[in-house]
A and B are shown apart, each in its own frame.
Chain A
Amino acid sequence: DGGITQSPKYLFRKEGQNVTLSCEQNLNHDAMYWYRQDPGQGLRLIYYSQIVNDFQKGDIAEGYSVSREKKESFPLTVTSAQKNPTAFYLCASSAGMGRGNTIYFGEGSWLTVV
């Protein structure tokens, strides 16, 4: 778990701004994920990436964008098109997708719209 670093931990966004959440892992994992969690709610998948230079939309990708230029990095941009971005964002990684590979989570980033 300690191998996944998210920053910043707290972020405030003004209306109409794009913000980028950083996620770095040193676990040599191929797969990386972004989840959104609203207060008192479950985990919803935003985007995932199985390998460098490839990523797929999850269940709630609208208003978000990602890139996977390096194996260890999977930044998430919350664009102005995301109308209700206030939430807890969790980055995660696993050795690979499926095949019983355990998903490990970062510490999370709290995003608030002001």
Chain B
Amino acid sequence: GENVEQHPSTLSVQEGDSAVIKCTYSDSASNYFPWYKQELGKRPQLIIDIRSNVGEKKDQRIAVTLNKTAKHFSLHITETQPEDSAVYFCAASLYSSASKIIFGSGTRLSIRP
């Protein structure tokens, strides 16, 4: 079955700098890749997603890139702000019905003032 690996597990960046979180997946048939942000004690919330028919998607300071050949995708956050501090989860799933979504292990991002 699908396996998703996420790196790094923790990341600390200076406010205003960029942060990059990377995920790799094992099933080449996977074609939907969402990213979730979870603040302390809160529920995970979808921040951006990408489907395999595109290589990059942007939403203001957040972007996701996908390399289908290498089977990896990354989350890029530019001009980081204190409110970006959270745990981020990547995920992957197949397009077929009844396909479970598989989550990465999470990255704890801390923004230093």
Interface residues on A, range: 20 to 34
Number of B residues with CB within 8 Å of any CB on chain A: 25
> For the complex, would chain A's binding face be called helix, strand, loop or mixed by DSSP majority?
loop
Q: Which of A12-61 contact B (CB under 8 A)?
A: 40-43, 45, 48, 50, 58
In the assembled complex, A96 has its CB within 8 A of some CB on chain B: yes
A-B interface contact total, Cβ < 8 Å: 57
The residues in B between 57 and 113 inclusive whose CB is less than 8 angstroms from any CB of A are 89, 93-101, 103-106, 108
Chain A residues near B98: list those with CB within 8 A: 50, 97-98
Query: Besides A43-B103, A90-B43, 4 other CB < 8 A contacts?
Result: A1-B43, A90-B44, A103-B101, A107-B43
**A positions within 8 Å CB-CB of B:** 1, 40-43, 45, 48, 50, 58, 90, 96-100, 102-108
